Amino acid sequence: MIYTRTGDQGTTSLLDGSRIRKNSIRVDSYGTIDELNSLLGFGKHFVTNEDIIGKIHIVQRELFAVASELADPKGEIYPARIGDAEISRFEVWIDEYVKLMNPVPKFIVPGSSQASGILHVARTVCRRAERLMTALDERESVSPLLMKYVNRLSDVLYTFARFLEEEQELVNL
């Protein structure tokens, strides 16, 4: 059933069955991760680079794990799925694409194409998720690996957007 009526009073269930206000920092944190996942799904339709599309799809699957871990405050229902391997993989992706680009001598204006523009928007949503997770971590512990993952993900999105901008500039020459 799509509707349960259990949230009609402004609360929602966490994975352990406990109820929490929908405007809590925890719900805002995993809700923003969900927003990021949806935005990346939309953004893939503007990207023509098959490698980046594939990498975004990997990220989308992992964002379900991030949101689930955030929705399990005691870590008892949903075991941690994000670890050092995913973070290291992000660093490899960043290094791989940075090698293909010119150095950035100044601030860039985001959005020279629809593809880069949507990835820059996704990057800012990712940064918002990171800020919310940081605020949550001040009250309740958040896995340092999740924090690192989301931080590095924003770097990945920035790198992909920049690469697509340079690619677009070459087409316009």
* Fold type of domain 11-172: Hypothetical Protein Ta1238; Chain: A; (1.20.1200)
Q: How far is Cα 167 from Cα 164, in angstroms, rounded to an integer?
A: 5
Give the per-residue pLDDT at 173: 45
Amino acid letter, 1: M
pLDDT digit string, tens, across residues 33-55: 999 999 999 999 999 999 999 99
User: Within 44-83, where are the H helices?
Assistant: 50-70
Nearest to 163 by CA among 85, 51, 33: 51
Does residue 138 contact residue 70 with C-beta atoms inside 8 Å? no
Give the per-residue pLDDT at 76: 77
Place of tokens 């697509």: 164
Give the per-residue pLDDT at 106: 58
- How many CB atoms are closer than 10 A to CB 9? 9
Q: What percent of the chain has pLDDT over 90?
A: 69
Q: How far is Cα 70 from Cα 89, in angstroms, rounded to an integer?
A: 22
20 membership: H or E segment, kind and range:
strand 19-21
Averaged confidence pLDDT in the chain: 89
pLDDT digit string, tens, across residues 63-82: 999 999 999 987 778 777 89
Give the pTM: 0.90
In this predicted structure, which of 17-26, 107-116, 124-133 has the lowest mean pLDDT?
A: 107-116
- The length of the chain is 173
| Helical packing angle, 84-98 and 144-172, nearest 10° | 20
Exposed / middle / buried, residue 12 (Cβ in 10 Å: 0-12, 13-18, 19+): middle
Instruction: Give residues with Cβ within 8 angstroms of 20, minimum separation 6.
Output: 11, 12, 13, 14, 26, 27
Place of tokens 């990346």: 40
pLDDT digit string, tens, across residues 108-125: 667 678 999 999 999 999
pLDDT digit string, tens, across residues 95-107: 999 999 988 665 6
First-residue to last-residue Cα distance in the chain:
54
